[in-house]
Amino acid sequence: MDAELAVLILFCGLLGAIVWNLATWWFGIPSSSSHALVGGLAGAVVAAVGSQYVIWGWTPLMQDGKLIGVMKVLVSLFASPLLGFWVGFLVFRIGRKMMAGAKPSANNTLRKLQFASAACLAFSHGANDAQKSMGMLTLVLLLGGFIPKFDVPFWVVLACATAITLGILSGGWRIVRTLGFAIYRVRPLHALSSQLTSGLLILSASYLGAPVSTTHVVATSIMGIGYSEHPRAVRWKKAVDIAKTWVITIPASALTAIVCYALARIMLGQH
């Protein structure tokens, strides 16, 4: 595979993920940019050179005792929401017992503690989600001959950190409303429990090298917290809608990337 084709595959894979993420953002449905990127890249590779060039991870299932390829992503896709739900359930139960008999003014303390828990969650988000963007940029620089080996330049780290920060500041309120109100009405103890749960799980996944979705973990931790307190108050219909989006993210972004690759070939005058 020559460098020009590799860059085209990366471009179409990224475009497929971006289109899918923008679509889910528009409807305010939390989805995984990590899994959208995996699906987009897999679809672009299949369209360009064939499915045999995708590391699916079926055979062999493991390498050096670790899951590999698409299988690793699929396992994390299904495991992380389950862990988010049940760890959130337990963390909230523990927090509620610790707060038994507390006065309403205790909410002020909980809100202050959220500065630390939110910072932990933000750090874990960057430690997991931002890495994929750094990897893509560095790979393009390597393919273009701008760097001699696959080492992430500092300016790439800075650019990705800036981009993810600006994106959160400017475009995330639709998702925030869904997570804060559409699943279960979040109050200070709920928010603190969710942030602690999500930060712990995402940092653990980063340590293991597993790409997980911050939105998956946060959303399911809120579901677990709501189920722990008032199961009937959880808006399960909205939760089902979110779950459906999660399931179709990889195939949908893959299909989008295939269409993007076909259009790119037409625009470039190739057949």
Q: Are 32 and 213 in contact (CB under 8 A)?
A: yes
How many helices (H) and strands (E) in the chain? 10, 2
- Each residue of 167-198: pLDDT tens digit? 777 766 667 777 767 788 888 999 999 999 99
Per-residue model confidence (pLDDT) at position 49: 92
Can you list the residues of the chain whose pLDDT is less than 70? 1, 60-65, 171-174, 180, 270-271
CA 60 to chain centre: 26
DSSP one-letter code for 129: T
Q: Whole-angstrom Cα distance, residue 229 to residue 13? A: 41
Q: Whole-angstrom Cα distance, residue 180 to residue 178? A: 6
Residue 63, sorted as left (phi over 0), alpha (psi -120 to 50) or beta, turns out to be beta
> Which residue, chain included where needed, has tokens 């509620």?
96
The residue type at 145: G
Residue 21, sorted as left (phi over 0), alpha (psi -120 to 50) or beta, turns out to be alpha
Strand partners, 67: 62
Per-residue model confidence (pLDDT) at position 1: 59
What are the backbone angles phi and psi of residue 62, rounded to the nearest 5°? -135, 155
The CA angle 147-153-155, to the nearest 5 degrees, is 125
Q: What is the pTM of this model?
A: 0.81
Strand partners, 17: none
Q: Whole-angstrom Cα distance, residue 219 to residue 240? A: 12
Residue 31, sorted as left (phi over 0), alpha (psi -120 to 50) or beta, turns out to be beta
Closest Cα to residue 13, out of 47, 43, 49?
43
Per-residue model confidence (pLDDT) at position 65: 67
Per-residue model confidence (pLDDT) at position 176: 72
Torsion of CA 194, 199, 201, 204, to 10 degrees: -170
